[in-house]
């Protein structure tokens, strides 16, 4: 047996809240769009002129030699004795005529030291000795250390929740302050409490209810319906006070504005509200460095009650673990706990026809301005309305395929069920459908071919309308929900494109009719190939006013019809071109980013011709020493208009792991195209 311990086991150490308090008290100053505000230190708008090192050292050395020469001339009397006149006028005669050697030394040597110090100050300013010290002295040898700041006053300390105390919620503020100092509060808890407090200020909740919940549960109050207070894993760096996620850093490149160089890159709902389009080839980092961090950030916002997010991508694309989401729909997977509502949760046949027509035939519509897909919508409405009137539900995929195929059996059964009921007026819809089927070029056959892509054995248990499954509808975006939809890619590429268009159409329709628009809604569509249609572009244009946004990624702009590329780039407010872009894709980005006025310098070297024998001799010696003929340099400075980023630069000058990103906030603030290091 092991020996008996001499003392009882100790208690585990209490959690330390210093890290959370440091995070909460870190300043977050206002900054330009896209700047990571956590601990940011602003820089001047224009780059200060930096003197070259050899010129700086040479000037400092010359200034020292001038000071040495001046003191030598003064001390040896070559410039007269005028510089001792102040001593003779101001010092008492007893001091000047004293027999004490100590007094004489203090008087005259002290005055000499004073003159030397004044002389060094003057020449030091002229020679910029201070800049030499800062650039090459001990301050440049040691790394910059963070400035230690004193704890803020209680009235301004965010860890004391002064805004709650000022509003009369003293007990709630005391409970939250204790838990923050004890390490029992996280950044998601702080953001969730702040969101609940905003509801009190807007009048949606009462102060008494909020105070009672916080006093009872502390930082766990006002919890998310899932009960979770954080994600199981984080890969990116988040700041829920500003709502930003850090995606890298802007490169220290001359093409970036000076106040952006070297700063962190942070995106939040204020920028995603204008939507984002990222274009880059496979392997350029769209999913790992952009989609995954944004999905992670929006999931944290959803846990804080600020946002709802729908992430759509291929199965196994690395969009985060299933535990990070409330709803995971694996289309084509038998183990999926949720189904997808084919009709978006609506009960209106016309609205359902619009959404389904966009999904099935939106890419077949003429992409030129003014075109639409009304023919497909009309065909579906002629069938969905009578079917719902008879069965009280919309048709399943096999039933809809049978109706679109035009077989006599389904249509006759539907006609017979409508006869003698209060819905006989819908018989005209069926009559019109039968007449149109007899004409060549009827769009019903195209819709039947498209819906047949979903009528496969792999999808037999999905898109059920009988109520036996748990279909998820995007109408649930009124709540802070986290949704991940895995599309089937292997062997079902065409079906995946249909489903991507379906989700995009349902999202744009659902966010437009939300009651609570204070909740930010975002759709992240990883690989939007085939999903960009004329109606989709118009729907994205309306997201900004609904406090919603979309994040789309493409491998190339060739996946978008040529007439839609300009409208798509003009619709989104944030545009990202990743490394490896083709020149023809870069041309579209160069056109939408426009041009700017820049200052160019034209340097011309003109050879100097000597006229005299002495001049020719000097030129010969100079040519022997330098190896070059004597020249005179002429510099011409002018303002020219050039592209911010040319197509060639986007294709060949963007390093691996980098991207060029332009930003627009929902308030209309702009950031020019920035070269960003996504791996920093």
Do 83 and 181 belong together in one domain?
Answer: no
What is the mean pLDDT of the segment spanning 34-49? 83
Q: Flag the least confident range among 40-49, 278-287, 306-315, 636-645.
A: 40-49
Q: Flag the least confident range among 377-381, 439-443, 543-547, 575-579.
A: 439-443
Residues 333, 351: Cα–Cα separation, whole Å:
29
Higher-pLDDT residue of 579 and 126 is 579
Do 136 and 161 belong together in one domain?
Answer: no
Q: What share of the chain is helix, strand, coil (3-state, %, to 5)?
A: 50, 15, 40
Does 478 fall in a domain? no
pLDDT score recorded for residue 288: 92
Higher-pLDDT residue of 333 and 572 is 572
Does 375 fall in a domain? yes
Does 76 fall in a domain? yes
When divided into structural domains, the chain yields a total of: 4
Residues 185, 230: Cα–Cα separation, whole Å:
11
CA distances from 501 to 143, 204, 358, 376 (A): 52, 35, 7, 15
What is the mean pLDDT of the segment spanning 337-356? 91
Q: Strand ranges (DSSP E) for 317-437?
A: 327-330, 339-340
Higher-pLDDT residue of 217 and 56 is 217
Does 660 fall in a domain? no
Is the alpha carbon torsion for 293, 299, 303, 308 positive or negative? positive
Instruction: State the number of CA atoms in the 13 A half-sphere of 604 facing the CB.
Output: 6
What is the mean pLDDT of the segment spanning 85-98? 72
Among the candidates 428, 454, 471, a domain finishes at 471
Do 203 and 115 belong together in one domain?
Answer: no
pLDDT score recorded for residue 12: 47
pLDDT score recorded for residue 413: 87
Residues 633, 679: Cα–Cα separation, whole Å:
43
Residues 51, 594: Cα–Cα separation, whole Å:
33
Helix (H, G, I), strand (E, B) or coil at 353: helix
Q: Is the pLDDT of residue 610 over 50?
A: yes
Q: Flag the least confident range among 121-125, 359-363, 419-423, 600-604.
A: 419-423
Do 430 and 404 belong together in one domain?
Answer: yes
Tell me which residue has tokens 């007439």.
563
Q: Which residues contact 77 (CB under 8 A, 6 or more apart)?
A: none
CA distances from 586 to 99, 251, 528, 568, 622 (A): 88, 20, 18, 15, 49
Does 650 fall in a domain? no
CB 638 within 8 A of CB 645: no
CA distances from 270 to 267, 571, 573, 671 (A): 8, 16, 11, 13
Domain extent at residue 171: 17-41+151-220
CB 572 within 8 A of CB 607: no
Q: Is the pLDDT of residue 143 over 70?
A: no
What is the mean pLDDT of the segment spanning 411-417? 87
Residues 563, 315: Cα–Cα separation, whole Å:
31
Question: CB count, 10 Å around CB of 618?
Answer: 13
pLDDT score recorded for residue 11: 45
pLDDT score recorded for residue 144: 52
pLDDT score recorded for residue 593: 93
CB 112 within 8 A of CB 71: no
Q: Closest by alpha carbon to 577, among 283, 284, 279?
A: 279
Q: Determine the Cα angle at 558 with ends 553 and 560, to 5°.
A: 65
What is the mean pLDDT of the segment spanning 138-147? 61
pLDDT score recorded for residue 367: 64
Helix (H, G, I), strand (E, B) or coil at 632: strand
Question: Which backbone phi and psi does 228 adopt, to 5 degrees?
Answer: -80, 145
Q: Which residues contact 54 (CB under 8 A, 6 or more apart)?
A: none
Q: Is the pLDDT of residue 203 over 90?
A: no
pLDDT score recorded for residue 6: 63
Q: Find residue 661's DSSP bridge partners.
A: 576, 674
Does 173 fall in a domain? yes
pLDDT band at residue 498 under the 50/70/90 scheme: very high
pLDDT band at residue 572 under the 50/70/90 scheme: very high
Q: Find residue 600's DSSP bridge partners.
A: 638
pLDDT band at residue 2 under the 50/70/90 scheme: low
Would you give the distance in Å from CA 307 to the centre of its chain? 15
Does 555 fall in a domain? no
pLDDT score recorded for residue 365: 72
Do 420 and 372 belong together in one domain?
Answer: yes
Tokens of 499: 């489903």
Tell me which residue has tokens 């992409």.
367
Q: Is the pLDDT of residue 577 over 80?
A: yes
Q: Which residues contact 429 (CB under 8 A, 6 or more apart)?
A: 381, 382, 383, 385, 386
Does 137 fall in a domain? yes
pLDDT score recorded for residue 497: 93
What is the mean pLDDT of the segment spanning 420-429? 78
pTM confidence score? 0.84
Q: Which residues contact 293 (CB under 8 A, 6 or more apart)?
A: 235, 236, 245, 246, 247
Residues 201, 205: Cα–Cα separation, whole Å:
8
Residues above pLDDT 90, as percent of the chain: 47
CB 261 within 8 A of CB 253: yes
Do 32 and 164 belong together in one domain?
Answer: yes
Do 35 and 106 belong together in one domain?
Answer: no
Residues above pLDDT 70, as percent of the chain: 93
Question: CB count, 10 Å around CB of 592?
Answer: 16
Q: Flag the least confident range among 196-200, 376-380, 598-602.
A: 598-602
pLDDT tens digits for 227-255?
A: 999 999 999 999 999 999 999 999 999 89
pLDDT tens digits for 13-28?
A: 445 578 899 999 999 9
pLDDT band at residue 145 under the 50/70/90 scheme: very low
pLDDT tens digits for 211-233?
A: 999 999 999 999 999 999 999 99
Query: In 470-608, where does DSSP find H-type helix?
Result: 493-511, 534-541, 562-571, 583-593
pLDDT band at residue 657 under the 50/70/90 scheme: very high
Do 58 and 166 belong together in one domain?
Answer: no
Do 211 and 64 belong together in one domain?
Answer: no
Question: Which backbone phi and psi does 308 adopt, to 5 degrees?
Answer: -130, 140
Do 416 and 463 belong together in one domain?
Answer: yes
CB 544 within 8 A of CB 509: no
Do 75 and 183 belong together in one domain?
Answer: no
pLDDT score recorded for residue 629: 78
Q: Find residue 521's DSSP bridge partners.
A: 308, 548
pLDDT score recorded for residue 9: 56
């Amino acid at each position: 047996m092991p020996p008996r311990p001499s003392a009882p086991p100790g208690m585990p150490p209490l959690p330390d809240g210093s890290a959370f308090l440091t995070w909460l008290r870190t300043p977050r100053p206002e900054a330009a769009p896209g700047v990571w505000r956590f601990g940011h230190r602003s820089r001047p708008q224009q780059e200060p002129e930096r003197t070259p090192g050899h010129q700086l050292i040479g000037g400092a050395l010359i200034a020292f030699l001038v000071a040495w020469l001046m003191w030598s001339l003064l001390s040896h009397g070559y410039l007269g004795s005028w510089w001792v006149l102040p001593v003779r006028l101001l010092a008492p005669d007893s001091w000047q005529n004293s027999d004490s050697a100590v007094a004489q030394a203090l008087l005259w040597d002290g005055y000499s030291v004073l003159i030397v110090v004044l002389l060094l100050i003057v020449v030091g300013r002229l020679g910029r000795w201070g800049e030499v010290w800062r650039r090459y002295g001990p301050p440049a040898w040691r790394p910059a250390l963070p400035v230690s700041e004193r704890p803020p006053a209680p009235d301004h300390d965010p860890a004391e929740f002064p805004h709650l105390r000022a509003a009369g919620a003293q007990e709630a503020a005391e409970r939250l302050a204790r838990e923050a100092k004890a390490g029992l509060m996280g950044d998601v808890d702080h953001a969730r409490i702040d969101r609940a407090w905003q509801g009190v200020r807007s009048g949606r909740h009462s102060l008494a209810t909020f105070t009672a919940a916080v006093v009872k549960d502390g930082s766990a109050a006002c919890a998310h319906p899932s009960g979770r207070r954080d994600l199981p894993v984080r890969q990116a760096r988040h700041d829920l006070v500003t709502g930003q996620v850090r995606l890298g850093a802007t490169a220290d490149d001359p093409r970036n504005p000076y106040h952006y160089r070297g700063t962190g890159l942070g995106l939040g709902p204020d920028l995603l509200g204008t939507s984002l389009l990222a274009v880059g080839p496979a392997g350029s980092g769209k999913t790992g460095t952009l989609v995954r961090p944004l999905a992670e950030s929006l999931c944290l916002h959803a846990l804080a009650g600020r946002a709802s997010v729908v992430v759509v991508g291929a199965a196994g694309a690395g969009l985060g673990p299933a535990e990070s989401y409330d709803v995971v729909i694996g289309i084509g997977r038998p183990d999926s706990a949720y189904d997808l509502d084919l009709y978006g949760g609506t009960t209106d046949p016309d609205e359902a026809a619009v959404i389904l027509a966009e999904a099935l035939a939106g890419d077949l519509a003429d992409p030129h301005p003014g075109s639409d897909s009304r023919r497909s919508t009309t065909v579906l409405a002629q069938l969905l309305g009578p079917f719902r009137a008879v069965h009280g539900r919309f048709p399943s995929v096999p039933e809809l395929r049978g109706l679109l195929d035009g077989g006599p059996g389904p249509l006759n059964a539907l006609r017979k069920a409508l006869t003698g009921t209060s819905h006989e007026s819908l018989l005209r819809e069926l009559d019109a459908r039968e007449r149109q089927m007899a004409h060549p070029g009827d769009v019903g056959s195209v819709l039947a071919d498209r819906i047949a892509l979903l009528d496969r054995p792999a999808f037999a248990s999905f898109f059920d309308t009988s109520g036996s499954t748990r279909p998820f509808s995007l109408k649930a975006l009124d709540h802070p929900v986290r949704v991940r939809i895995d599309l089937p890619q292997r062997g079902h590429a065409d079906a995946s494109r249909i489903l991507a268009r379906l989700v995009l159409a349902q999202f744009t329709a659902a966010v437009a009719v939300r009651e609570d628009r204070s909740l930010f809604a975002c759709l992240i569509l990883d690989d939007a190939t085939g999903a960009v249609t004329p109606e989709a572009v118009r729907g994205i244009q309306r997201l900004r006013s609904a406090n919603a946004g979309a994040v789309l990624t493409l491998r190339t702009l060739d996946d978008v019809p040529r007439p839609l590329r300009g409208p798509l780039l003009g619709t989104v407010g944030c545009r990202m071109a990743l490394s490896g872009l083709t020149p023809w894709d870069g041309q579209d980005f160069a056109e939408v980013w426009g041009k700017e006025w820049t200052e160019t310098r034209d340097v011309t070297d003109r050879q100097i011709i000597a006229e005299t024998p002495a001049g020719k001799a000097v030129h010969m010696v100079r040519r022997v020493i330098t190896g070059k003929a004597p020249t005179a340099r002429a510099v011409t400075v002018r303002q020219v208009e050039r592209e911010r980023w040319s197509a060639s630069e986007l294709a060949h000058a963007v390093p691996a792991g980098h991207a060029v990103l332009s930003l627009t906030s929902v308030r209309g603030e702009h950031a020019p195209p920035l070269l960003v290091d996504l791996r920093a």
